[in-house]
Chain A
Amino acid sequence: MERLLITGISGGLGRLLARRLAGEYEIHGVDRVPWEGAPREITFHNADLRSRRIEDVFRRERPDAVAHLGFVRHDFDPELRHDVNVVGTKRLLEYCARYEVKRLVILSSSYVYGALAENPFYMDEDTALNVSRHYPEIRDLAEVDTLATAFLWRYPEIATAILRPVNTLGYFAHSSIGSYLRLPYVPTVFGFDPMMQFIHEEDVAEAFVRALERGARGVFNVVGPGAVPLSVAIRETGGTSVPLPETVARRALDRLFRFGLFPVPADAVDFVKFPCTIDGRRFHEATEFRPLFTLEETLLSVRR
């Protein structure tokens, strides 16, 4: 049986993926947070991605494949976020090259393209990573993606896949958009109602499985069953949208975020203002991936 190393295994997506692949691979998991009640066949290593102990795991276990999901996405400290995500990824990529990993799948995000007014509705993988242009607090997204892309071209012998899934919803995955839609009163920007694509967390796990199975190599957008306007998403998930004028929205959300009362940094307000929708054709062609959940089911998964 091949050995698979999953970073960030205690996160929602990590657990889903580990459970999904438990019979097919010998699974080793790495996380800062312990996973209580992990299935017995999974070997858990409690370590920070930036620490030396990760290299020991590589040295001892010699994984054939790595699924990199170990990111801090909703910590209120931007420095910690940047440090764990960028430095952690950099180290991990070094070990992957040194210990001759055969396949590597890295979780990125569709947010790397940024939400710009003039965004086309189908952005393909060659679109510029504009997230770094306007949103310093979530700049690490683009940096991780760029690091991974550089790695992809530098080590052609390693089948590296970088997955950029759209807004992920589900019971387990701790996504910012999920927390946002779970709010009883959802602040929105008055006069704006962008189209948003959603994907179920199980489908993101499925995308990882596909990429690992097929040894896909490249950068891939991963889209779900479709797009609806934000207002429809809020309605279908049982929330009440509270449209605020833009200046008020920005200031209020910034305060709330600093106090830990709001899941999304104020910089990200543009994501509920302008579209950030992508084209998933390339991934479908490479792996025949198709989302299993319908749009209704995906939205219902965060219904209050």
Chain B
Amino acid sequence: MARAPTQSKQLTSSRAASRPGRTPPARTAFRNVRTTPAAEESSDLLASVEQILSWLGSETLQRAPRFLRDLEAECREKIARAPMELNSYGYDPWGFNTDTACRSMVVTSLIYRYYFRAQTTGIANLPAGRMLLIGNHAGQIALDAAMIATACALEAEPPRIVRGMGEYWLPRLPLLNVAMVRTGSVVGTPKNCVDLLEHGEAVIAFPEGIRGMNKSFTERYRLQEFGYGFMRLALQTDTPIVPVAVIGSEEQAISLGNFKPLARLLSMPAFPLVLNFFPLPTRYHIIFGEPLRFSGDWNDEDRLIGEKVEEVKQSIRTMIDEGLAKRRSIFF
């Protein structure tokens, strides 16, 4: 049953007194597990493990090479400046968290700068506010998405956090679902996409989907069939579409083809026969095109939507062709 009111009021006041001066930080302020006293008296098992890990992390980070420490500070600063709707605990409504995102951004930035040595052009084309980034998808694992997101966070001004649209089975996997949500991705339902765009976020989508990602090596730089969903969402929310071409991702994995019967047996979306387990260190060229704006009825018949989709596809194809013509070598 309910407790006596006086007693519980006293309890709360004493609780409040025991945690003096707990002022919610500003919207863009950075709440770090290491430095805030939020976890001070908490005996949370997870939190203590996390504390030990982050303590170890900070110890190693202090001994880490200078460039790594600088990179961490840079990521921190970029994320803090990105326009986001954070609450006083450092989370946005979809579960994005600045601390986790910063940690993962350090890793992706290392890959971006030193493994793929990415060269980004046309980043100034990113409009302010909501946008839909549409790119070519390849490479067996979705590193292209991570690299585009890293480019937008590192090179854009102001830095932008790119929101990915995850597969429907992702939220069912332990740990992975948390990692996905904390770094800014969400389950790829149309409703989530519309909400993100209406809140002025940058959403990335690959209309080729699995068809593009798991295509074989011989089909590299050949755009597969585009889905129409993204165009309907863009029309519905009046969002500019930024075409993105990624060059280099298509050679990172050498796939001989897709072994469909085994994929069906394991109920996986595809079972690519890949020669190299680890992606090859190709050089990435990421090209952001001029934003395309479309208008019309989002609920129109497929034929009319398809014409608009073809326009986006054509602009990505042109950018890929130009980029390939300029490229001197796959690796340099």
Stretch at the interface among A51-59, A144-152, A156-164, A185-193: A185-193
Stretch at the interface among B42-50, B61-69, B72-80, B280-288: B42-50
A122 with B12: CB separation less than 8 A? no
A241 with B5: CB separation less than 8 A? no
B192 with A12: CB separation less than 8 A? no
- Given the complex, which residues of B lie within 8 Å of A171, measured CB to CB? 2-3, 5, 8-9, 12
Using a CB-CB cutoff of 8 Å, which residues 176-232 of chain A contact chain B? 189-195, 225-229, 231-232
Tell me whether A120 and B189 are in contact in the complex, defined as CB-CB below 8 angstroms, given that A229-B95, A232-B91, A235-B39 are known contacts. yes
Q: Does A234 contact B (CB under 8 A)?
A: yes
A192 with B94: CB separation less than 8 A? no
Using a CB-CB cutoff of 8 Å, which residues 220-279 of chain A contact chain B? 225-229, 231-232, 234-236, 238-243, 246, 274-275, 277, 279
Using a CB-CB cutoff of 8 Å, which residues 1-23 of chain B contact chain A? 1-3, 5, 8-9, 12, 15-16, 22
- Given the complex, which residues of B lie within 8 Å of A300, measured CB to CB? 12, 15-16
With the chains together, A190 CA to B178 CA distance in Å?
A: 11
B24 with A240: CB separation less than 8 A? no
Using a CB-CB cutoff of 8 Å, which residues 73-123 of chain A contact chain B? 117-123
- Given the complex, which residues of A lie within 8 Å of B174, measured CB to CB? 189-192, 246
Nearest B residue to A275 by beta-carbon distance?
A: B95
With the chains together, A121 CA to B172 CA distance in Å?
A: 15
Tell me whether A191 and B5 are in contact in the complex, defined as CB-CB below 8 angstroms, given that A231-B46, A303-B15 are known contacts. no
B93 with A195: CB separation less than 8 A? yes
Q: In the complex, which of the residues B44, B171, B178 contacts A240, with contact meaning CB atoms closer than 8 Å?
A: B44
Contact with A along B228-266 (1 / 0, CB 8 A): 000000000000000000000000000000000000000
Task: Report which residue of A193, A239, A279 has the largest number of chain B beta carbons within 10 angstroms of its beta carbon.
Answer: A193
With the chains together, A195 CA to B87 CA distance in Å?
A: 12
Nearest B residue to A33 by beta-carbon distance?
A: B1
Q: Does B278 contact A (CB under 8 A)?
A: no
B168 with A118: CB separation less than 8 A? yes
Q: Does B126 contact A (CB under 8 A)?
A: no
Q: Does B38 contact A (CB under 8 A)?
A: yes
Interface of B is mostly: mixed
B230 to A: closest C-beta gap in Å: 17
B171 with A117: CB separation less than 8 A? yes
B177 with A192: CB separation less than 8 A? yes
- Given the complex, which residues of A lie within 8 Å of B95, measured CB to CB? 121, 194-195, 227, 229, 275
B187 with A117: CB separation less than 8 A? yes
A227 with B1: CB separation less than 8 A? no
B20 to A: closest C-beta gap in Å: 13
B93 with A120: CB separation less than 8 A? no
Q: Does A294 contact B (CB under 8 A)?
A: yes
- Given the complex, which residues of B lie within 8 Å of A227, measured CB to CB? 87, 91, 93, 95
Tell me whether A121 and B94 are in contact in the complex, defined as CB-CB below 8 angstroms, given that A191-B177, A193-B178, A231-B44 are known contacts. yes
With the chains together, A173 CA to B43 CA distance in Å?
A: 26
- Given the complex, which residues of B lie within 8 Å of A11, measured CB to CB? 2
With the chains together, A303 CA to B41 CA distance in Å?
A: 12
Q: Does A15 contact B (CB under 8 A)?
A: yes
With the chains together, A239 CA to B42 CA distance in Å?
A: 7
With the chains together, A301 CA to B187 CA distance in Å?
A: 32
Q: Does B89 contact A (CB under 8 A)?
A: yes
> Chain A: residues with CB nearer than 8 A to chain B?
11-12, 15, 117-123, 171-174, 189-195, 225-229, 231-232, 234-236, 238-243, 246, 274-275, 277, 279, 294-296, 300-301, 303
